[in-house]
Structure 1
Amino acid sequence: MTGPPDGGRVCFDATVDVPPPAERAAAEAALGHPVSHLLPAADGLPTVAASVAGDPPRARVAWVRADGAVVVRVACPPGRPSRWRPVVAAVVEIATPGLDDRVLVARAAPEASSVRPVLASEAPGDAVPVAGDGLALARLPAGVAVLGVDALDASGEPIGRLDRPGLSELRSEGAGVSGRLGSTHGMGAGIGGGRWAPGLAEAAFEAGYAMRLPEWTPPGMERGRPRVEPDVSYPAAPPALVIAWNGADGSRVLLRQAPAPLASPDGGGRDATEVDVGGVTGVLRGRMLVTLVWETPTRAFGLQVRGMEGARGVALRVARSIPPGDPGPATAGAGPLL
């Protein structure tokens, strides 16, 4: 995609086909719900209709033939694009009798005007525009791996990339959906890839924001050094900050935090308990190894508590003792990520 220096009309790498209103109306009639964006039927392939539904929100996509028959429907994993993580995406491959198709289904943050797949080929991927509900759709060549997805602003400059670890790859043969889900937020995990910082000030300088520390931790535990851990899915996003309190008996309280919102919200599940943490809802899991994940408007938190009696109560008390803190990273606001 290219943009003129005077900020005028954006030109896309690929021809942008605007589907006729009748094609959208036919897809909506076949599916029984509004369609936010679609790929027109082309080269013998049916219309691909997309919309967003649910809480947390997820993109749903369907292949609809000209006669109104719905060949297959696929719901992508939930995701929330944001300033810090500007695109969530899945590669959806359909292999049914008479239909072989492969489509990038992406949702972009308001700061993005288009998205561009990063392909494992000599030919670069084409930028495609962001449409209703932040959706972007692109047909992909068969057999070419997608290494990531770039979000682009109105001038065609990248504002962030989703790397392959966070990209979901789904396949349907009509009867069901299989594949690989992208990496989730990992806020309740232990120590990951990154580096140790000498102290809190150095960690804050590197990450662009200061840690919010709890006002209470179990007595007798010793606080360790902070750790700076880059986001494996979003290399341009601010890193997470991690710190742990350790007991002589092997017990540990580990706190992880990063700018909110998370791109992969916690959807709960059978083993999850919703709890109140300072007026917001957190998700509590486990008995002996306990995790608690919650988000404020500006910060996401994850706690891991292990090796102690009443670990669930400890996690809640630690979480509720963390003060509201600052408004967010020092790099917040307009302009490129620092």
Structure 2
Amino acid sequence: MVDMTNKRLSVAPMIDWTTTDYRYFARLFNPHVYLYTEMISTGALIHGNRARHLRFDALEHPLVLQLGGADMTEMTQCAEFAQQHGYDEVNINVGCPSDRVQHNKIGACLMAEPNTVADLVKHMQAAVDIPVTVKHRIGIDDFDSYEFMADFVQKVAAGGCTRFIVHARTAWLQGLSPKQNREIPPLRYEDVYRLKQDFPALDIEINGGIETVADIEAHLEHIDGVMIGRAFYHNPYLLAEANSLWGTPVPKRSDILAQLYPYLEEQIAKGEALPTMTRHYLGLFQGLVGARKWRQALSGKPHLTIDDIKYAATEVLALNPDA
């Protein structure tokens, strides 16, 4: 069994998915994991509805705000917003391959500018007391050698970053969609392991293609942390099973629902739409008898009620008494 004292398990930032409603739900499964916001651009925080973008429930801690941007002043200002609102860390997105963000110098394209990222870390860290971390790829386009990534990490670490979350695929900035960039470039876990060996003083986390608790344990033998995105989202009970890493109890789905209902009632009272929240909960019974019926009960229902959810859950739990 892996000693988790200095290890970390995280839920990856995912646009449109890791909202506060999902994060609250995820926290009910596991008290140990680090949760990330969606990537939020500096423009959205500075010129948009900042309070709504940054809202979270106290239960969500430890919680990391992921920022997209490259302007020194704006990124520093948004790091200050994060600290003021009570976030535990700030993360700089240097991994998103979307062509929608490249023209704003957000995401993976910044791997070509390690000195820019180092300066961002340096100035942001000087302005706040919370850690500033970086999430990046192993390379971009034809710049996909281990040496390219190691040079990037070395220069950014010189700016003061001590934690790097590495998606173990190259980002192809031309010709592939973000979805294809999560699937087509081959995974190179050994490059991330080597990075830890070459930079033992840094905290190195790995991301990409990890789907089971056994996978998590295997990676933690080599590096400091594991980050999982879609596997946790589509099968949230994997978060519950991961409690075994810490030797803590695995909650039942029925217990999670009992804690979720008061949250939903509270959010409805604040004017939030129930269907918007419940879209994140479709995977609760993934792999069990009745999972499809549960998804159908929650999907496409503009007038969905909490009683509807309770009825659907009761039906599935009756088929799975140990759930």
Q: Normalising to structure 2: TM-score of the pair?
A: 0.26
Task: Specify which structure has the bigger relative contact order, considering alpha-carbon pairs within 8 angstroms and separated by 6 or more residues.
Answer: 2
Structure whose CA Rg is larger? 1
Larger relative helix fraction: 2
Higher strand proportion, which one? 1
